[in-house]
Structure 1
Amino acid sequence: MILERLDLENIRSWKSSSITFPEGITLFEGEIGSGKSSLLMGIEFALFGYGKAESLLSKKAHMGSATLFFSVDGKKYEVRRVLERKKGKVGQNSRGSYIVEDGEKVPLSASELKQRVLHILRFNENPRPNANSRIYRYAVFTPQEEMKAILADDKTRFEAIRRAFGVEDYACAVTNSALISSRIRDKARVLAGMFSGLEDAKARLKDAEKEAGSGASGIRELEAGAESARKRHDIAKQRLKEAGERCSRMTGLSTDLRNAEERMESGGSGARRHEEQAADEEAQAARSKKELEGIPSSPPSDTSSSEIASRLKSVEEALRERDTAAARYEECRRMVEDDDLPDDAENAQEKVAEAAAGIDGKREEISSARSTMEGLVKGATEKRTRASTLRKDLKEIEKLGDKCPTCDQVIDVERTTEIKNAKAEEIKRLDAEASETDDRISAYRNEIKKLDRVVTDLADEKTRCEVLASRMKDHKKAIGDMESAKKASDGAAAEYSRLAASYGLGDDPVGELGRARDAMAEYEKAQVRAEGLKDTIRARDEAAASHRAEAARLRKDAEEAGAELDGIRAKMEGFEGAERERDDAEVEEQKAGREMVDVSSRLATAREALKGAERRIKEYGEAVADGQRRKEEHDRLGGHAGWLDDYFEKSARIIEQEVLTSTRQEFDARYREIYSALIDDPSKESRIDEDFGPLVSQDGIEQDLEYMSGGEKSSIALAYRLTINTMLRRSIDTLKSNLLILDEPTDGFSKAQLAKVRGVLEGLGSQQVILVSHDAELESYADHVFRVSKEGGASSVAKVEKATP
């Protein structure tokens, strides 16, 4: 999945904004609270509908929406969700939600929209509206606070890892198997009461089979009588058939007589028609021969048409090259004459380097001042926190009174006063130190502002010198281009003259060759017409011969038909009386048929009685089979329940432990690799413990994570986050996400650590990486930078054009 654009309307602090997402590494930077994280919430809401509706919709807005444009495997999609405030409550408005796929807009409800998005992304997950996407949460984007919670709490972290890598599925399988086993045994108990009448059904089946045997014997006797009646009927039917065939033969001879008469008549008329058509074809052939005699047989020139075309093309190309080269020279000459450069253009490049060096120096001073200031802010905060705790202690001491509320002993007032005075002095000292630190922080802020202004001035001067240096470079190139164009123009003119002379042409080479080409084309066109006339003459001669041959054949056929007429009349005399024979045979066949129907009726009655017995056999047989089947099903279900209880549950628990161990080993190897890339200190190493917790040791001594620097903690969190992403993308077949989103991934990183971030991200092979951070140092490691700011409670984003190095 690749994100392309996000449109937000009244989503948190975003009133009406459109944010584009280019490919590569993109940084969204800005102050805390500027609205950076709201962008990520908008993406997740548009895709899956996640997030509390009340917190997503701007406080004073009645309607809001998030529209995300993205692509999967090169296919583009657009998905939109709408929030609406009604009667003080905020919820999704399904009427405004839709998805655009293959250019077609399809309105969908909130739950249907999530199902469709999961199908498009090929995330095989629970489509319920309130179910989180495990794949998106751990393979694409994990919020900063959620990652901190995973690392800080052993139980939360272990459950998250089991959920992310599907290990919890085995525990669910064990629970489900116990539930299934219970339901199977319940069903088996029901089946036990459903085959109690099995033996009675078997006895009834036996009686019905005996009755059917007796009925079958009577049917066989009736069938013998029916067979005798059928044979008598068949003999009568055969006599009727033979008489009918004689009548049919007589009818056929009558038809043959009419056909012969028609052949004799049509043969004569057809022969006359073909002779007329032959004469017409011969006349057409004579006209084509006359036209052929007027077409010339010799070409207008000894030079072939292809050679003329080749010469014309060469001359035209030489003429174009001559004119193009002359125009190019004139253009270059004007550019050199019109370019007006200032006096200091020659030294512009040196001034660019000086300004760049000055900017780097001032930025180092700013970074140092900010680092010191952040330490002072942290110290002042700790002092104020300590003072606040002491004040709470004083209030608790003052509430005690004369006796201890726990043991009911009298409190030493003198000792209490001494403790209160000591705490008051400590509070006074902490407040004074915090106030002094605030003054130092203010001084550092003022110094940083001054240095920022100096950097801005140096950047402006650097930009001006870069533009001037570029113009100087273009000016020198234009002079060289002008000289090259002059040489090319002279050469093209000489080549045009040489080529015209070599073909023996005059002042208008193109015109002469064009006229020669047209004359040759007319000649070739006439030759094509001549070949067509020859084919026409040949075809008409053949058609005339064919018509004359057909006329002769038709005359001969008419003569033969006349000879057949006498033979047909003689044969018809031998079939007189055929109709009378057919009528007698028909009377005899009807009598035999009535006898056969009578026997068949008695046979049908006997068969109906047999069917009744067979129906009872089927009914009792089905009852027996059903009871037997239910008994077998009862026994089979008992076997299944035993297998689930005795084998499946134990096997699932063993597989769960093996999968967890294998996952931890692979997780540890990948985590070590990423951690080593971020922390370039051979004395330190980090690994993953049995509960998937990160452990750090230095020179073989394990370190407490709570007392590590902010940069080290962030490195561990980032390595952990990227390890989850890498393993999920490799282990889940349905995941084809080229997208990675990181929220404040480098909080507390040093410059040396920041320099390694880009290499680590590029090593992941993600087509699109989106970083959200308030750390401006990440600008130099991103392909694209967007600055998020908030003014008047409304967030906005602007693309930052990176300076050319």
Structure 2
Amino acid sequence: MKFKKIKVKNLRSYKEQEIEFPEGSLLLSGDIGTGKTSILLALEYALFGLQAGQKGTALLRNTEQTAEIVLDLEASGKLITIERRLKRTIKGVSNEYASITIDGQKEESSLTEIKHKIISLLGYPEEFVKKNNLLYRYTVYTQQEQMKQIILDDSETRLNILRHVFGIDKYKSIKNNLSILLLDLKSGSKILQGEITTLEQDKFILEERKSKLTKTEQVINEKALELEQKKIVRKDLELQIKDLESKIKEKKDFENEVEKTKITIINKKELSATLNREIIELSKSITEVPNFSEKEYSSLIQEMKEVKSSLELFNNQFIETASRINSFEKERLEILSKKERIFKIDICPTCLQDVSETHKHNILNETESRLSKIKKELEELKSSHDSISKSIERSRKNISELEEEKTRLEILRVRSEQIGKSKLKLIELEKQKEFVEEDCKKLFKHVDDLKEKILKYSIFDNKFRVKEEEMNKIKQEEKFAEIFLAELRKEAEISKKEIYFAEESISLKESSKKKLQNINELGDWLSTRFLNLIELTERNVLMKLRVEFSTLFRKWFNMLITEESLDSNLDENFTPIISQGEVEMDYSFLSGGERTAVALAYRLALNQTINSLMSKINTKGVIILDEPTEGFSETQIDKIRDVLQELNAEQLIIVSHEQKIEGFVDNVLKVSKHGDISVIGKGAP
């Protein structure tokens, strides 16, 4: 990783500033309080944001409401830009915005997601996402006072910090978790012991239940066999009763047939009596009558036709003569009227001439002649008319007499026909009477036959009653047997369920027993062998790290100290031991320069140890030293040159107010303060 550039706005004493990080070593030079360390804090905030326990008010300029930081860097071969903003609210100062741009692809995400990406790009282990940025603090940038503090802390606190930094706090976590697990196992063991307390007693009760079930099932089988036998007997009785019912039904049918036949006999007798009465009455109604002659009747009809024809002819003649009489009478009356007019007329109404007496007498003679002829014709016609009228009267009388004779003959014919039919009916009635009387005889015989059969079938009534009593008895026995068998089966079913649940309970308890055994074995193994293994592993890892750490610490301490008689190493708790000859020297009694040398040597040794342990992290080429020469003598300051050359870091940033350091680095940035605003300018090394 390499820092490229950082822009800050309203950060601590900075109003707005942009800083480019050149290649090689860089010194941020300036008096105390000018804002050098603020740049280092800006770098840390840009990478990790606000850390647990860190207040935003320590970064945001007091007179401003927001602060912005943009950091450009290179990591894992990618160009990365990180942007963060702080905002002051009523509740305090907090992160307002964060984004990360990787090779031109900008992503605005949550603070946690961005931290995930940065941790990944820096090559830090994933577990450091949830931890404070200790790995960065103890490899890249550590305030000198913090490094002195780790030396002054008690051994347990220091070991915990180092475990954390080295990434081997997992061993302690394993032991802590192991303690919790052992407590859980112990608690679980007590619960399981309580669960299996009645296991043997449960087994004994289970065997008793199984024995009882076996006996019950044996009784069930016996009773089931008895029940089947009763069912066989009952089915055989049902067949017998069914056969007897069939016989009784036949007997009942015979009895019904007798009743029906008796009714039929009564009906037949009534019919015979009715037929006898009809025969007597019909015999009385048959009397001898003259024979009817069809020839005579036909001759009469022919005669009637002829008489009616003559009558019709007479009627026509009568009408004709009457018409002629009326015509002559009309003509006579007209002539008489004309005769009277002629005697009275003097002048002709046509020609208006006088009518002479002669002419009148001529006309009168003509009229008298015509009247005479008419009178003669009328006398003849009236005579003929009277003769025709008499002939008509005779014909009508003759027709009346013939009609009477016809009626007599027709009555005679009808009567003859009726008597013939009555004779035929009488013969039919007598035959029917014979048939009815014959049927009665047969029916009487049929009744006698049926009575014999009824008497024969009467024995089945007693048999049916006996078999029905047997059936009721066997059904009752079968019912009681079924109830008893059902109770036994219910009892067996309950026993099976009890056995099932008991077996399940015992199985669970056996499982609990086995689990208890496994837990006890696991607890013993965890509390002895596994715990010893973890402690041994941790001791070996710590021992290896302490050897490497101690070697590097001695190396850097010897480079920084001017007193050759002083020696250094680390004890098992990674506490620096400074000795002079055989005498161990307390850290608090060392001079200021010596304490700074111890802290710087510890820091550099820790840096190299971590980089060696975690070879894949991308920050091992970057080192930031904050006031590394505090309390140093001129000679010690000169030794810093050798230290810097020995470090051979890809990017080295030093914060110091010592002007002599400017000659040890490739680049110098001057930090000054104008009023309450920090300003950075370039300076010559």
Report the TM-score when normalising by structure 1: 0.44
1:773 aligned residue: 656
Return closer, same or farther for 1:623/1:88 CA change in 2, 3 Å cut-off.
Answer: closer
C-alpha RMSD of the superposition: 3.7
Aligned 8 A contact 2:578 2:587 in 1: yes
Among 648, 661, 670, the residue aligned to 2:530: 648
- Answer yes or no: is 1:664 the counterpart of 2:665: no
Among 64, 68, 79, the residue aligned to 2:67: 64
Aligned 8 A contact 2:84 2:95 in 1: yes
TM-fit CA distance, 1:762: 3.1
1:18 aligned residue: 18
SS class of match (2:601): helix
Letter in 1 for 2:576: P
Q: How does 1:390-789 map to 2 (within 5 A)?
A: 632-698=514-580, 702-703=584-585, 705-737=587-619, 738-789=621-672
Q: Deviations over 1:23-53 (max 9, x none)?
A: 3211111111111111111111111133311
TM-fit CA distance, 1:3: 1.4
* In 2: Cα distance, 1:626 partner to 1:700 partner: 68
TM-fit CA distance, 1:187: 4.9
Q: Deviations over 1:196-237 (max 9, x none)?
A: 9998999999x9xxxxxxxxxxxxxxxxxxxxxxxxxxxxxx
Q: How does 1:232-311 map to 2 (within 5 A)?
A: none
2:106 aligned residue: 105
TM-fit CA distance, 1:621: 12
* In 1: Cα distance, 2:649 partner to 2:36 partner: 21
Q: Deviations over 1:225-262 (max 9, x none)?
A: xxxxxxxxxxxxxxxxxxxxxxxxxxxxxxxxxxxxxx
Q: Deviations over 1:534-580 (max 9, x none)?
A: xxxxxxxxxxxxxxxxxxxxxxxxxxxxxxxxxxxxxxxxxxxxxxx
Return closer, same or farther for 1:789/1:204 CA change in 2, 3 Å cut-off.
Answer: farther
Return closer, same or farther for 1:202/1:82 CA change in 2, 3 Å cut-off.
Answer: farther
Return closer, same or farther for 1:624/1:733 CA change in 2, 3 Å cut-off.
Answer: farther
Aligned 8 A contact 1:114 1:127 in 2: no
* In 2: Cα distance, 1:30 partner to 1:668 partner: 34
Aligned 8 A contact 1:747 1:775 in 2: no
* In 1: Cα distance, 2:147 partner to 2:180 partner: 35
Return closer, same or farther for 1:31/1:638 CA change in 2, 3 Å cut-off.
Answer: same
Letter in 1 for 2:181: I
2:172 aligned residue: 171
Aligned 8 A contact 1:170 1:652 in 2: yes
Aligned 8 A contact 1:8 1:17 in 2: yes
2:42 aligned residue: 42
1:29 aligned residue: 29
Return closer, same or farther for 1:734/1:726 CA change in 2, 3 Å cut-off.
Answer: same
| Number of aligned residues | 393
Return closer, same or farther for 1:635/1:122 CA change in 2, 3 Å cut-off.
Answer: farther
1:150 aligned residue: 150
Letter in 2 for 1:52: K
2:116 aligned residue: 115
TM-fit CA distance, 1:671: 1.3
> Structure 2, unaligned stretches of length 5 or more?
214-496
Letter in 2 for 1:771: I
* In 2: Cα distance, 1:788 partner to 1:203 partner: 96
Letter in 2 for 1:72: A
Return closer, same or farther for 1:204/1:165 CA change in 2, 3 Å cut-off.
Answer: farther
TM-fit CA distance, 1:620: 13
TM-fit CA distance, 1:729: 0.6
Among 37, 53, 56, the residue aligned to 2:56: 53
* In 2: Cα distance, 1:117 partner to 1:171 partner: 27
1:81 aligned residue: 84
* In 2: Cα distance, 1:683 partner to 1:631 partner: 67
TM-fit CA distance, 1:700: 5.5
* In 2: Cα distance, 1:122 partner to 1:202 partner: 66
2:444 aligned residue: none
Return closer, same or farther for 1:640/1:670 CA change in 2, 3 Å cut-off.
Answer: same
> Structure 1, unaligned stretches of length 5 or more?
208-615
SS class of match (2:83): strand
Q: How does 1:125-144 map to 2 (within 5 A)?
A: 126=127, 131-144=131-144
Aligned 8 A contact 1:201 1:623 in 2: no
* In 1: Cα distance, 2:588 partner to 2:187 partner: 54
SS class of match (1:756): helix
1:91 aligned residue: 94
* In 2: Cα distance, 1:735 partner to 1:78 partner: 19
* In 2: Cα distance, 1:664 partner to 1:784 partner: 36
TM-fit CA distance, 1:696: 3.5
Letter in 1 for 2:80: Y
Aligned 8 A contact 1:149 1:157 in 2: no
1:298 aligned residue: none
* In 1: Cα distance, 2:132 partner to 2:603 partner: 18
TM-fit CA distance, 1:659: 3.4
TM-fit CA distance, 1:778: 0.6
Letter in 1 for 2:17: S
Aligned 8 A contact 2:76 2:121 in 1: no
Return closer, same or farther for 1:184/1:698 CA change in 2, 3 Å cut-off.
Answer: closer
Return closer, same or farther for 1:637/1:787 CA change in 2, 3 Å cut-off.
Answer: same
Letter in 2 for 1:27: L
Q: Deviations over 1:433-472 (max 9, x none)?
A: xxxxxxxxxxxxxxxxxxxxxxxxxxxxxxxxxxxxxxxx
Aligned 8 A contact 2:76 2:122 in 1: no
SS class of match (2:64): coil
Return closer, same or farther for 1:626/1:703 CA change in 2, 3 Å cut-off.
Answer: closer
Letter in 2 for 1:107: E
Aligned 8 A contact 2:35 2:678 in 1: yes
TM-fit CA distance, 1:734: 4.0
Letter in 1 for 2:73: F
Report the TM-score when normalising by structure 2: 0.51
* In 1: Cα distance, 2:20 partner to 2:14 partner: 14
TM-fit CA distance, 1:743: 0.6
- Answer yes or no: is 1:796 the counterpart of 2:679: yes
TM-fit CA distance, 1:792: 2.2
* In 1: Cα distance, 2:90 partner to 2:516 partner: 57
Q: Deviations over 1:712-766 (max 9, x none)?
A: 3322221111011111110124423211111101123334333332332332342
Q: Deviations over 1:650-685 (max 9, x none)?
A: 333344344333333322211111122223543333
TM-fit CA distance, 1:643: 1.6
Letter in 1 for 2:603: R
SS class of match (2:125): coil
Letter in 1 for 2:101: V
Return closer, same or farther for 1:182/1:678 CA change in 2, 3 Å cut-off.
Answer: same
1:603 aligned residue: none
SS class of match (1:181): helix
Aligned 8 A contact 1:9 1:64 in 2: yes
Q: Deviations over 1:99-130 (max 9, x none)?
A: 1123211112222222222222222254566x
Aligned 8 A contact 2:553 2:569 in 1: yes
Letter in 2 for 1:800: G
TM-fit CA distance, 1:154: 4.2
Aligned 8 A contact 2:119 2:129 in 1: no
Using the aligned pairs only, state the percent identity. Answer: 33
TM-fit CA distance, 1:801: 3.3
